[in-house]
Amino acid sequence: MIEKFHLLGVDAGAVELPRQFTCPFCYEPHPLALMAVEQVQQYVAGRVDWTDEIAAGKMLGVLVAQDDEGQLGYLAAFSGNLAGSVRHDYFVPPVYDLLDPQGEFKQGEAQITAINHEVERLEQSPELVVMQRREKEELQKISDEIGNFKAMMAQHKQERDARRDAGNLTAEEKEALLNQSRFEKAELKRIRQRHETELAKITDEMGVFCQRIDSLKARRKAMSEALQEQIFRLFVVSNARGEHRDLVEVFKPLGTLPPAGAGECCAPRLLNYAYNNNLRPVCMAEFWWGASPVGEVRHHGHFYPACRSKCKPILDFMLQGLDVEENVLGQPMEDQVLNIVYDDQWLTVLNKPSGMLTVPGKLLEDSLLTRYQEAHPEAAGPIVVHRLDQETSGLVVFAKDKATHKALQQQFESHTIRKRYIALLDGIVPHDEGTIDLPIRPDVDDRPRQRVDYEFGKPAVTRYRVIERKDGVTLIALEPLTGRTHQLRVHCSHPQGLNCPIVGDRLYGTAACRLMLHAESITFRHPATGEKITLECEADF
């Protein structure tokens, strides 16, 4: 029996196995994965020694697999570390153990820590403190003495000007006034030179001291970069073809080293253990357990896709050799007739279906824009005025010429265009109406997700009004006063917002047949006629 392989207690011949392995970036958990998740949740609930840490929030994952005898079982994993360790009996081991005290990482980290302590000692040393105080005092003396001397020079100049204006000066008196001016200018120069000489002595002493610090910092940076690459060389992952590759090689086509934390998530750990133990992957799922992290949106018990920045390059390699479900978000939609809500010689307003990109993406050319251009070859210059998320449906405005595009863009920038969205939320919103004010920025470690950040986030404000509450869901109208990426999705799902994710939100809630968010209404001033136009298109949910 393979050590970390937990039998599901299900006869493989008595259940319907998925035809393809789970696409980790867009999926609904298979019933077998749900069975495994339930067992993991029961196990975690029984570990009272982990209660506080688990309650604070942890990403967990399962991979259902078959062994050589055809038995169905599952592997379990957690992201990062748990209870100060990356090794626990119930869970698969890490791809590489960063916490091994005898490992390369800990030994290299100890060397870098020693340099940190030496830098800290030098920066806080009494000698440097004295030199910094002397430098500050000398600069103050320079400022005071030169300031006082300049004030005296200004007073003497006024007196000389007054005597010249009074007239009746002899040649000798005029020469004396001129000599006074020359002497004071020369004396000011001598004062500056004297202080600059004294300041240079202090600066030179500090320079020798600071050079030692800078040298240590440069050495620390070089050691850190070398250690990072060395460690990522030790993160060796496999795929279903039996190929092996370290993370430096995995990320090499992207022209970058792996980001911090790469290889420490659930999915790479699960797949790597399965391959290394001759287990055939059947399906998988990752779910959040516990409180949402500060700034992020994670709901207890909800399933989430693998992160893109750290995991996608790794999983793109590790899934090679498996028959994997297609990522429906990366597939073109079936041919549809453009749903035109309004059209004239200057602009067009379309009803974008859920699942279609507004503009072509990196992996998918098909979009509302490409289809519009095919149908309207007369449209010239910038066309796209604003965008909707791929999974959001509703009204999108396209311009047919440069002047119209510029005028509409100015209305968006000045916030004179009003938009109203309809959404179905998973949960009951207690207040009938209100305003959400949560600043947002991109989650650089997990794009395209956004996170709340009061220090670096951009202002994001949304008004809301409840339309109906029924059967555990809330139908709501949303009016964004700003236009941040994923603003409505984050404001609805975040604990400091409405704490009710939009139904079908695979990033901030639970995946479903579609995201129940629709741009229902838009009001703007027509760029050519000046007429105020309001257009509406009802949601189909």
Please indicate whether residue 443 is annotated as part of the active site: no
Catalytic residue among 11, 100, 344, 389: 389
Determine the Cα–Cα distance for residues 57 and 300; give it in Å rounded to an integer. Answer: 8
237: left (phi over 0), alpha (psi -120 to 50) or beta: beta
The torsion of the CA quartet 411, 412, 413, 414, rounded to 10 degrees, works out to 50
Instruction: Kindly report whether the peptide bond that precedes residue 448 is cis, defined as omega within 30 degrees of 0.
Output: yes
Partners of 246 in the beta sheet? 236
Query: At a CB cut-off of 8 Å and minimum separation 6, what does 160 contact?
Result: 177, 180, 181
Establish how many alpha carbons lie within 13 A of residue 155's alpha carbon, considering only the half-sphere containing its beta carbon: 6
Taking residue 211's Cβ as centre, other Cβ atoms within 10 Å add up to 10
**Cα gap 499→240, rounded to integer Å:** 40
Taking the C-alpha atoms of residue 397 and residue 417, their distance in angstroms, rounded to an integer, is 11
Residue with tokens 């570390």: 81
Q: How far is Cα 381 from Cα 235, in angstroms, rounded to an integer? A: 48
463 burial via Cβ count (<10 Å: 0-12, 13-18, 19+): middle
Strands 347-352 and 393-399: antiparallel
Q: What tokens appear for 327 in the block?
A: 């990522």
Beta strands in 432-516 (DSSP E): 433-437, 440-442, 450-452, 461-470, 473-480
Beta strand spans in 290-413 (E) = 340-343, 347-352, 393-399
* Nearest-angstrom CA–CA distance, 52 and 58: 11
For residues 94 and 82, give the distance between their C-alpha atoms in angstroms, rounded to a whole number. Answer: 12
Distance (Å, whole) CA 238 – CA 254: 19
Give the DSSP letter string of 189-238.
HHHHHHHHHHHHHHHHHHHHHHHHHHHHHHHHHHHHHHHHHHHHHH-EEE
Residue ranges with strand state E in 400-506: 418-426, 433-437, 440-442, 450-452, 461-470, 473-480
HEC profile for 252-317?
A: HHHCCCCCCCCCCCHHHHHHHHHHHCCCEEEEEEEEEECCCCCCCCCCCCCECCCCHHHHHHHHHH
SS3 143: helix
* Residues with a known catalytic role: 389
